[in-house]
C-alpha cells in the first residue's frame, strides 16, 4: 500500500508515481537531458519510485521530483503521448487532469508546459 500524497486519491497517487517511473525508465528523456529537464538524475528518480510507499507530504525532494515529472510529461516526450499512455495505463485527459490538480486550482488544464508560462 502506498501513501497518498498531496491530497490525491489512491488512484491519482498511483498515476503520479507511474508518470515518475515512465520518465525514469521509459524512452521519454535522454540521460543527458533528464537532469536539465527535471533537476534529478535517473538513479534519483528510480530511488524515489522504489521508496514510493514510504514517501509522505514532508519529503520535499521526492515531491519535487514527482512534480517535475508531471510538469514535463505533457511537453517533453515530443509526440510520444500514446507511449506515455501505455506506460501509465491512463489517458492523456486523465494525465492532464492530474497535472492540473497537482499544480493547484485555477491553473487550467494545460496542453503542455509552455501553456502554463503564458
Check whether 101 has a pLDDT greater than 60.
yes
Return the HEC string of the chain. CCCCCCCCCHHHHHHHHHHHHHHHHCCCCCCCCHHHHHCCCHHHHHHHHHCCCCCCCCCHHHHHHHHHHHHHHCCCCCCCHHHHHHHHCCCHHHHHHHHHHHHCCCCCCCCCHHHHHC
pTM for the model stands at 0.86
- Position 5 in a domain: no
Check residue 79 and give its pLDDT. 83
Domain region containing 23: 10-117
Where residue 118 falls among pLDDT bands split at 50, 70, 90?
Answer: very low
**Mean pLDDT of all residues in 34-63:** 95
- Position 51 in a domain: yes
Check residue 23 and give its pLDDT. 96
- Position 3 in a domain: no
What is the domain count for the chain? 1
Amino acid at each position: 500500500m502506498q501513501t497518498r500524497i498531496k491530497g490525491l486519491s489512491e488512484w491519482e497517487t498511483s498515476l503520479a508515481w507511474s508518470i515518475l517511473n515512465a520518465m525514469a525508465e521509459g524512452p521519454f528523456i535522454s540521460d543527458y537531458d533528464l537532469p536539465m529537464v527535471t533537476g534529478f538524475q535517473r538513479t534519483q528518480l528510480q530511488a524515489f519510485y522504489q521508496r514510493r510507499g514510504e514517501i509522505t507530504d514532508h519529503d520535499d525532494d521526492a515531491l519535487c521530483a514527482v512534480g517535475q515529472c508531471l510538469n514535463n510529461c505533457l511537453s517533453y516526450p515530443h509526440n510520444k503521448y500514446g507511449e506515455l499512455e501505455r506506460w501509465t495505463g491512463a489517458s492523456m485527459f486523465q494525465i492532464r487532469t492530474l497535472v492540473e490538480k497537482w499544480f493547484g486550482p485555477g491553473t487550467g488544464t494545460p496542453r503542455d508546459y509552455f501553456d502554463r508560462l503564458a
